[in-house]
Structure 1
Amino acid sequence: MIKQLTLSAALVLGLGSAAHAAGGAGHVEDINFSFEGPFGTFDQLQLQRGLQIYTDVCAACHGLKFVPIRTLSDPGGVGLPADQVRAYARDVLFVADEGANAHLYDFEEGAARGLLPTDNFPAVENAGAPDLSLMAKARAGFHGPAGTGLAQLFQGMGGAEYIYSLLTGYTGKTKEEAGTTLYENTAFPGGWISMAPPLEDGRVEFDPEHANDLHHLSEDISAFLMWTAEPKMMARQQAGFVAVLFLALLTVLLYLTNKKIWAPVKRAAKGQPAE
C-alpha cells in the first residue's frame, strides 16, 4: 500500500515537473478571497459587483449556460431580492438563434421571448469563446512549485486566482500569427492568448461608488465566477464541518467504550481483581 502511494506521488510530481519544464504553466498570483478556508464565505457585495462586470463586459462573448438565473437570489450567494432577479432576467440580452438559445425563441412570432428566473443564463456560441459557468473549477490546476499543487493545498490557490492572474497578466505586447492577433499574458499557458484585455481601470462604474481599478475589477469577477462554479460551496463546507465534529465525538465515545469493555480483561491478564 505504501509502495503504491509512493509511486503515485512520484508520478504526480514527475508530471508536474515535466509540465513546468515545458513552460506550459503561467504565473498565478495568490489572492486572499473571502471564500477560502474551511470557514470562508462569499462576499455578497463582491458577487453583485462581479455580476455587473459579467453583464456589462463578459456576456457579449461568454455565456453561463449552466447557471439558473433564479440562483441569484439564493442565500449565501449573490443574494438579490426576487423582484430584482425577475427584472434582471427580463432585461438580459442574448443572441437568439436556432442553436444554443432556440428554447428562448418564438419562431412563429419571429422574436425572442423574455427570460424568466427559471431559465438559465443564455449560452453564447457565435463568438467562439468558452462558457464561463465552470471556468473557475476547470482552471483549478496544480499551481505552485513545479506544478505540485502545494500552493493550492496550503494557500487555497485555485481557479479564482488563475482568472484574476489572467485578467491582470497582460503585458501590452502583441504579435500576429496566421492572421490572428495574440496578446502576451504571464498567466496563460504558453504565454500568448487570443483574447484582448477585457478589463481596464474604470471599465465598469459601480453604484454606490466602489474602487473600479483593474485589480479590484478582476477580483470581483473572479469571485463571481467561483460562485457560478461552486454555488453550494458554503453549504458543503458547513456540512463537512458538522460531519468532522460528529466523527470526532464518535471517535471519543468509541475509545471510551473500548476501554470500558476491555478493562476487566486487562486487569485479569495482570492478575488484578475485577471491580
Structure 2
Amino acid sequence: MLLIGATGFSGTAQANTGTHELLKPETPFSWNGVFGRYDREALKRGWQVYHEVCSNCHGLKLVAFRNLAAVGLTPEEIKAVAAEKEVQDGPNDEGAMFQRPARPSDRMLSPYANDKVAASIHGGAVPPDLSLITKARVNGPNYVYSLLLGYPDVPPADVAIPEGKMYNTYFPGYAIGMPQQVFEDAVTYADGTKATKEQIAKDVVTFLNWAAEPELDARKSLGVKVMVFLALLTALLFALKRQIWKDVH
C-alpha cells in the first residue's frame, strides 16, 4: 500500500474533498464518541492488512514491534514478525556497521534504505511514514478510508491523468501515484471475517489510528473517571454549602 502524498495538502486538497464528500464506514469507527474504545479484533485485522500489504512500502517509525502486544500479538508472534525485517546496528568490534534481524525493541522503519532509493522506485515520490497519517489531515480516518476506496472502475473521461498515475476521487488533483491496493479478499483474515473492500479499509484505518493514538483508550478511561469524580465532588460541596448556611435566612 503506497499512500504517496497523503499528507500535507491545503487548498487543492480541500477543494477536492469539498467537491466529494468523504466516505464513512457503514458502522462508525468504534473509538468515536466520549465512551468509544478501540475494537481489539479490528485492530488485529488492521495489523494483518498493514503487515501483508502496507509494510511493503511504508514504515511506522514511531511504533516498536513490542507495541504490537496492544493489538493482540503474543510475545512469540512479535519476535517472529520482528525477525522478518533487518535493521542496521553497530559499530562492531572492527568499527563497521552491520545488518541484523530486528528485535521487539526495534521500530518499524521504512523498507527503503533512504528517501532517494524510495523516490527512484516510485517515480520521484517518497511513500510517507504512516505513524501519524490519520492526524496529518482534517478528519483523517475518514480521509484515509475514502482514499483507499476512491478508485472508480471507470475514471471520469474529462480528467487528464499523467502517465504512471492513477485516478483517485479523494486525492488532491485526482492523480495519485499509489495503485489501488484494496480489493475483495485481498487478505484472508485469521478470524474468518469476510474481507470486503470496505472491511479491509476500515480495519487498516483502525490500526493506523491506534498507531497515531495508542493512548486513546487510557485517556478516555481517565477522562470518564475524572468527570465522575468532579460530579461527586460538586454534589458533596453543594451539600456542605447547604449544611453550613442552613440557619442563615
TM-score, normalised by the number of residues in structure 2: 0.77
The change in CA–CA distance for 1:208 and 1:264 in structure 2 (over 3 A counts) is closer
- d(CA) in 2 for partners of 1:203 and 1:237? 33
1:182 matched to 2:178? The reply is no
CA shift digits 1:47-97 (9 cap, x unpaired) = 1221111111111111100001111113xxx12111111111112x36xxx
1:259 matched to 2:242? The reply is yes
1:79 matched to 2:75? The reply is no
1:47 matched to 2:43? The reply is yes
The change in CA–CA distance for 1:217 and 1:236 in structure 2 (over 3 A counts) is same
What is residue 165 of structure 1 aligned with on the other side? 146
Q: 1:138 aligns with which of 136, 139, 142?
A: 136
Which amino acid in the other structure matches residue 84 of structure 1?
Answer: E
SS at match of 2:238: helix
What is residue 248 of structure 1 aligned with on the other side? 231
Equivalent pair of 1:27/1:165 in contact (CA under 8 Å): no
Q: 2:24 aligns with which of 19, 26, 30?
A: 30
Equivalent pair of 2:24/2:142 in contact (CA under 8 Å): yes
The change in CA–CA distance for 1:105 and 1:188 in structure 2 (over 3 A counts) is farther
Which amino acid in the other structure matches residue 103 of structure 2?
Answer: L
> How far 1:191 moved relative to its partner?
3.1
Q: 2:201 aligns with which of 196, 218, 226?
A: 218
The change in CA–CA distance for 1:132 and 1:234 in structure 2 (over 3 A counts) is same
In our comparison, the structure showing a higher alpha carbon Rg is 1
What is residue 98 of structure 1 aligned with on the other side? none
Which amino acid in the other structure matches residue 90 of structure 1?
Answer: A
- Identity percentage over the alignment? 35
RMSD: 2.8
TM-score, normalised by the number of residues in structure 1: 0.71
Which amino acid in the other structure matches residue 132 of structure 1?
Answer: L
Equivalent pair of 1:104/1:113 in contact (CA under 8 Å): no
SS at match of 1:113: strand
1:90 matched to 2:77? The reply is no
> How far 1:113 moved relative to its partner?
0.4
Higher helix share: 1
Runs of 5+ unmatched residues, structure 2: 1-9, 119-125
Equivalent pair of 2:89/2:97 in contact (CA under 8 Å): no
Runs of 5+ unmatched residues, structure 1: 1-17, 95-100, 142-157, 268-275
What is residue 122 of structure 2 aligned with on the other side? none
> How far 1:190 moved relative to its partner?
3.6
- d(CA) in 2 for partners of 1:109 and 1:136? 38
The change in CA–CA distance for 1:247 and 1:190 in structure 2 (over 3 A counts) is farther
Task: State how many pairs are aligned.
Answer: 220
Q: 1:62 aligns with which of 58, 61, 67?
A: 58
- d(CA) in 1 for partners of 2:91 and 2:199? 37
